[in-house]
Amino acid sequence: MITFWKTGTTFTRLNAYQPDCWVNSQELTTEEVDLLINEYNVPRDFIMDVLDTDERSRIEFDEGQIMIILRVPLHNQNNGIPFITVPLGIYLSGNQIVTICSRKNEVIPSLIKAVNENRIRITSQIDYVLRIFMISAVWFLQFLKEINVQTALIEKDLEHSTKNKELHHLLRMEKCLVFFITSLKTNEMTLARMRNSRIIQEAEYDEDLMEDVVIETRQALEMANIYSDIQSGMMDAFASVISNNLNVVMKQLTSVTIILMIPTLVSSMYGMNVPNSLENSPYAFFWVAGLSLTLSLFGVIWLKRKNWF
């Protein structure tokens, strides 16, 4: 899907393409890819790289064109992994801005909303790029908090669990953090190259905004690393907890088996077809039942003292 936006103090959606407007494209079809290449002169290789979900962040300069790829987070409904990252491409040529992403994401709508609510101002193309980096970092932080909340809920279930279901959930959270760490590292490297690039330095942009973006990205990376270290230790600890919980259950079942074996043993002895001095007694059943219950009671008391119950 391709949409057109008039830039300025606010973003206004257009019904058709106009010169120097912002072209935003998501979930592209083959026809829309050809349209970007033929009508808006976006390099085919750049589009293919952006549509590759494994492409890493980078920035390229080519004859007045600036091509930037960063990775942005988004909710995911596939494979049971709640959050993933995908490439988002920004193509700058003259006054034209083209953004490309293979999936719908929260970054672009958040940018439009922030500008239209006058919470941020964009005065140049580089500021536009930096704002996308900033909002992406903010969404990374937001999703990291959600991962932390979900991890806390999994912890409560793991404390009394004897199954691997919760560990699988925790493993998915760990995968999310690995995706986030890898993406934030490449985003940080791209920002560093932008900051040191002669072309960017000669362009007009807000230096304070650049500093804020770098700080926010580093903060998100540090948080992701901290959460990843915590979860790695947590998975090892809770694997031991699950094993211990299973051992406790097996010990209790063994104790119950021992107690149930006592009446069976007594009744088997007196059920043999041999003389036992009670074969003619009318109270034989009660003597055997009483003996079984007494021995079982002593067995329960003994196992209780051993903390097997």
- Domain spans of the chain, in order of start: 2-245, 251-305
Please, which pLDDT band fits residue 182 given cuts at 50, 70 and 90?
very high
In whole angstroms, give the CA distance from residue 140 to residue 151. 16
pLDDT over 80 (residue 184) = yes
**Per-residue confidence (pLDDT) for residue 161, from 0 to 100:** 56
Who wins on pLDDT, 89 or 4? 89
In whole angstroms, give the CA distance from residue 135 to residue 83. 16
Q: Which of 142-146, 175-179, 197-201, 273-277 has the lowest mean pLDDT?
A: 273-277
Taking a C-beta distance cutoff of 8 angstroms, is the pair 247, 210 a contact?
no
Q: How many CB atoms lie within 10 A of CB 195?
A: 14
**Residue 62 one-letter amino acid:** D
* Homologous superfamily, domain 2-245: CorA soluble domain-like (3.30.460.20)
pLDDT over 80 (residue 77) = no
**Per-residue confidence (pLDDT) for residue 164, from 0 to 100:** 64
Contacts with 203 (C-beta within 8 Å, 6 or more apart), sequence order? 124, 125, 126
Task: Write the pLDDT tens digit of every residue in 97-129.
Answer: 888 988 888 888 888 888 888 777 777 788 888
pLDDT over 80 (residue 58) = yes
Question: pTM score, two decimals?
Answer: 0.76
- The listed CATH number (1.10.150, 1.10.540, 1.20.58, 1.10.443) that belongs to domain 251-305: 1.20.58
Tokens of 142: 């937001």
Tell me the percentage of the chain whose pLDDT exceeds 70.
89
Please, which pLDDT band fits residue 278 given cuts at 50, 70 and 90?
low
- Cα radius of gyration rounded to whole Å, the chain: 33
Average pLDDT over residues 49-72: 87
Please, which pLDDT band fits residue 42 given cuts at 50, 70 and 90?
confident
What's the mean pLDDT when you consider all of the chain?
82
Tokens of 292: 């079984």
In whole angstroms, give the CA distance from residue 82 to residue 43. 32
